C-alpha cells in the first residue's frame, strides 16, 4: 500500500477534505522546488502533484503550458527533478505525485523511472495520455504496491467505462470537471453533480475533482460533492507572481 493511499484514506476516515496542489517542477528554477513543497506542506496540503515539463502538453491550458516552457528553458529534465526530489524527501514526509506525459518516462526508461521514484519517495503517478487499454505498458509500476497509478475520468466518459476506470485507479480517482484543458473557470457543467455521484458510487478510493478550480468558493462547492480537490493553474500562477497569500487562502482544509 503506497504512502499516498494511506494518507488519503486516513484523511477520508477522519472526514478531512483532501487538498492536492499542482506545481510545475523547474518553473523559476529547480532550486525553488523544495521551497514550494515546504510552503505547501506548511499551509495544509495533503499531497503535492509535481508536473514534469513537456513540449507538447495536450491536457494543459495556457498557464501550465507557459510554466512548462519556463522550466524547459531552464534546462530541467525528468532525471534532474527526480534527483532533486530525492534530496527534498529527506526534509519532508508529504506524499509526492508525479504528473508526466508518457514520452519523457518512455525516453528515460520505465524501469529506471520506477526505481528513481522509489529513491525520490514518489508514491503516486499520473500519466494522462496512457489510456486504460494500454496500461500494460506500465504494468510493473501498476503492480508496485508503493506507487499508485491514478486514473482520470471525464464528463464525457461513458458510464460503463467510468466503472472500469474507477475500479482500476489507485490512490485516488481524478475527476476532470470540465470538457477541455486545464485553466480557471467561472462555472461548471450542470452534469457535474450526477457525474461525481457516479464516481463516488463506483470508486473504492477517494474521488478528487480537478481542472478549472481556482477559488475558495469553488473548492467549497466541490468539497460538498466529493472527497477533495486538485488545484493547478491558480497555484502555478500565484507562485510565479509570488502571491503566497493567495495560495494560503486556498489550502485551508475543511471537514465534512
Query: Please, what is the end-to-end C-alpha distance for the chain in angstroms?
Result: 25
Domain count of the chain? 1
Choosing from 49, 84, 144, 227, the catalytic residue is 49
Q: Helix crossing, 192-202 with 216-225: angle to 10°?
A: 50
| CATH number of domain containing 200 | 3.20.20.70
Please check whether residue 86 is in contact with residue 120, taking contact to mean a CB–CB distance below 8 angstroms: yes
CA distance 174 to 152: 5
Instruction: Note whether residue 53 is domain-resident.
Output: yes
Q: What is the pTM of this model?
A: 0.94
144 an active-site residue? Answer: no
Choosing from 16, 27, 60, 227, the catalytic residue is 60
Instruction: Note whether residue 256 is domain-resident.
Output: no
State the pLDDT at residue 239: 98
Helix, strand counts (H, E) of the chain: 12, 8
State the pLDDT at residue 222: 93
Q: Helix crossing, 110-120 with 78-88: angle to 10°?
A: 20
Instruction: Note whether residue 116 is domain-resident.
Output: yes
Q: Return per-residue pLDDT of the chain as tens, 256 residues.
A: 899 999 999 999 999 999 999 999 999 999 999 999 999 999 999 999 999 999 988 778 899 999 999 999 999 999 999 999 999 999 999 999 999 999 999 999 999 999 999 999 999 999 999 999 999 989 999 999 999 999 999 998 999 999 999 999 999 999 998 765 454 555 566 788 999 999 999 999 999 999 989 899 999 999 999 999 999 999 999 999 999 999 998 976 444 4
Strand partners, 124: 97, 148
Hey, what's the cell of 3? 504512502
Domain coverage including residue 234: 3-10+17-250
Instruction: Note whether residue 39 is domain-resident.
Output: yes
Instruction: Note whether residue 255 is domain-resident.
Output: no
60 an active-site residue? Answer: yes
Residue with cell 529527506: 90
Amino acid at each position: 500500500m503506497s504512502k499516498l493511499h494511506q494518507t488519503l484514506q486516513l484523511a477520508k476516515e477522519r472526514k478531512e477534505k483532501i487538498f492536492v496542489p499542482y506545481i510545475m517542477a523547474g518553473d523559476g528554477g529547480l532550486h525553488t522546488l523544495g521551497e514550494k513543497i515546504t510552503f505547501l506542506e506548511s499551509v495544509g496540503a495533503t499531497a503535492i502533484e509535481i508536473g514534469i515539463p513537456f513540449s507538447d502538453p495536450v491536457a494543459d491550458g495556457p498557464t501550465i503550458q507557459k510554466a512548462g516552457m519556463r522550466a524547459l528553458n531552464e534546462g530541467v529534465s525528468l532525471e534532474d527533478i527526480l534527483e532533486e526530489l530525492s534530496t527534498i524527501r529527506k526534509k519532508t514526509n508529504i506524499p509526492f505525485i508525479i504528473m508526466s506525459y508518457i514520452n519523457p518516462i518512455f525516453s528515460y526508461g520505465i524501469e529506471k523511472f520506477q526505481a528513481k521514484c522509489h529513491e525520490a519517495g514518489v508514491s503516486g503517478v499520473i500519466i494522462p495520455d496512457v489510456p486504460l487499454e494500454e496500461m500494460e505498458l506500465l504494468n510493473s509500476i501498476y503492480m508496485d504496491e508503493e506507487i499508485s497509478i491514478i486514473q482520470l475520468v471525464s464528463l464525457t466518459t461513458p458510464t460503463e467505462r467510468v466503472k472500469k476506470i474507477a475500479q482500476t485507479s489507485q490512490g485516488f480517482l481524478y475527476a476532470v470537471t470540465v470538457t477541455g484543458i486545464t485553466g480557471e473557470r467561472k462555472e461548471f457543467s450542470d452534469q457535474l453533480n450526477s457525474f461525481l455521484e457516479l464516481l463516488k458510487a463506483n470508486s473504492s478510493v477517494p474521488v478528487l475533482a480537478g481542472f478549472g478550480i481556482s477559488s475558495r468558493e469553488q473548492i467549497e462547492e466541490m468539497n460538498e460533492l466529493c472527497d477533495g480537490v486538485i488545484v493547478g493553474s491558480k497555484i502555478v500562477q500565484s507562485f510565479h507572481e509570488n502571491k503566497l497569500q493567495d495560495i494560503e487562502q486556498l489550502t485551508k482544509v475543511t471537514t465534512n
